[in-house]
């Protein structure tokens, strides 16, 4: 993956009430209320830069507004997920998180030191990355806890997967079938709680 050594100074317009502003002059204005949780303009900028680094995107006038919209949607979903995570009192041990973070770097073929240096160079708090990954891990743990026992694997599904990809082992195919079912349940759960959420743009 091509990672840019430094991001452009971020200027953007988000929502109709905001004008172009420089990051170093921005106030921590409330941008969105999700139920009683706040998303600030600072949160949006931090996540915008983090997303650009993770995806290897160089922010410019053409793509920044679209990315801002996507980031805002992502932050809203995370707030809604967090309410359900807290409802079920999902806890993550430090060892669980560390393993998940390491796997995140490996899975995405990132050099961990390079990413951490990029965060520092672009004034992104490491806590932003940790919160992002912690949210993913907690949601996965919640979904597994709620729905894993409801999953089932048929020989037909396994044979079909292996037929399409002979390099898969039976265990890998079974895990893929289960993961697909969990992903469907995850999407449904998120859709339901999004429909129940109160979202107010400022």
pTM for the full predicted model: 0.84
Average pLDDT, the chain: 87
The CATH homologous superfamily for domain 11-145 is Porin chaperone SurA, peptide-binding domain (1.10.4030.10)
**pLDDT bucket at 11, cuts 50 / 70 / 90:** very low
In the chain, the DSSP E strands lie at 11-12, 21-22, 30-34, 37-40, 199-201
Asked if 68 contacts 44 with a C-beta cutoff of 8 angstroms, the reply is: yes
> Tokens in use for 150?
């409801």
pLDDT, tens only, 120-129: 998 899 999 9
For the chain, what are the domain ranges?
Answer: 11-145
Cβ burial 58-83 (10 Å sphere, 16+ → b, else e): ebeeeebeebbeebbeebbbbbbbbe
Q: What distance in Å separates the CA atoms of residue 68 and residue 51, rounded to the nearest whole number? A: 10
């Amino acid at each position: 993956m091509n990672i840019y050594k430094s991001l452009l100074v971020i200027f953007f317009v988000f929502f109709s009430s905001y004008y172009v502003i420089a990051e170093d002059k921005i106030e921590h204005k409330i941008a969105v209320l999700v139920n009683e949780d706040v998303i600030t303009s600072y949160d949006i900028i931090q996540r915008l830069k983090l997303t650009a680094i993770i995806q290897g995107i160089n922010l410019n006038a053409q793509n920044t507004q679209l990315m801002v919209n996507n980031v805002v949607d992502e932050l809203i979903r995370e707030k809604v997920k967090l309410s359900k995570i807290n409802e079920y009192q999902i806890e993550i041990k430090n060892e669980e998180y560390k393993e998940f973070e390491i796997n995140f770097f490996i899975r995405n073929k990132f050099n961990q030191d390079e990413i951490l240096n990029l965060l520092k160079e672009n004034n992104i708090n490491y806590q932003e990355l940790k919160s992002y990954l912690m949210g993913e891990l907690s949601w996965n743990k919640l979904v597994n806890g709620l729905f894993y026992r409801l999953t089932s694997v048929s020989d037909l599904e396994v044979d079909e997967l292996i037929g399409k990809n002979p390099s898969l082992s039976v265990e890998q195919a079974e895990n893929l079938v289960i993961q697909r079912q969990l992903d469907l349940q995850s999407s449904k759960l998120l859709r339901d709680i999004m429909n129940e959420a109160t979202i107010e743009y400022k």
